[in-house]
Structure 1
């Protein structure tokens, strides 16, 4: 069976999360790991974050989004899906690139968890200090 419609892939990353996103021309349906957006990300702020590239480019009802995301927590996963959607949108329509670049959706967020240092309890938290 041959694919009748065009599909566009994009890989997004954030913290430890990696998302493989597939865009298909459709009605605006967003499915992440086989579950609807509202069910996978129950927090409204994360739902808005995932939809930001589609809203910025005014393509919210024009594509169906199917994403597989692994690793990290929910915030990192939402950021990874957002990054993947933005990259897939550029593959779908190169004229959207300046809008996505301006919004910062194509830039991989470099902030990572800081490593723990020896002599400290966490990355920067020092053990309790006693003068005497």
Structure 2
């Protein structure tokens, strides 16, 4: 039995099937831009849907025809939409035109951040691992739980009276 097994290095060679080689090579993605050299992406959060067009520029972010400062008055929301640029060291290098509908301001800011991150990774594919590691390319699937009948809200039940 040992004579037979000496000639074979692995079980794959013995059975006739070639051994599977694990390849740990990062997939190189290609740049996705339209005829105007813009990257397009959609982002979602809660019920908000944002569509973003990203192109090289001076760092102007336009949301539904308004500047980001005028649309998002709270500094936290403005910081949220600038995070993809800050984490990739691309602040002031791209102009972004965004249309966003649905939900409230917080959900819209999350959708805008998601759309900007996806457009940035389409425009510059080497930035994708950085954005992915930060969690900006992952769609936040948390949505409001629906109200159930026989209850006051989604989980809160009506007040219970023993007597």
Task: Give the TM interval when normalised to the shorter protein.
Answer: over 0.9
Offset at residue 46 of structure 1 (A): 0.4
Distance in 2 of aligned mates of 1:5 and 1:111? 35
Q: CA RMSD in A?
A: 1.3
Query: Tell me, what secondary structure is at the counterpart of 2:55?
Result: strand
Offset at residue 15 of structure 1 (A): 0.4
Q: Is the 8 A contact 1:83 1:105 kept in 2?
A: yes
Offset at residue 125 of structure 1 (A): 1.1
Offset at residue 4 of structure 1 (A): 8.1
Tell me, which stretches of 5 or more residues in structure 2 are unaligned? 1-33
Q: How many residues align?
A: 130
Larger Rg: 2
1:119 aligns with 2:155: no
Match of residue 70, structure 1, among 101, 112, 130: 101
Give me the TM-score of the superposition, normalised by structure 2: 0.77
Offset at residue 128 of structure 1 (A): 1.0
The structure carrying a bigger strand percent of its residues is 1
1:42 aligns with 2:73: yes
Offset at residue 5 of structure 1 (A): 5.0
Greater RCO structure (CA 8 Å; 6+ sep): 1
Give me the TM-score of the superposition, normalised by structure 1: 0.95
* Cross-structure match for 2:27: none
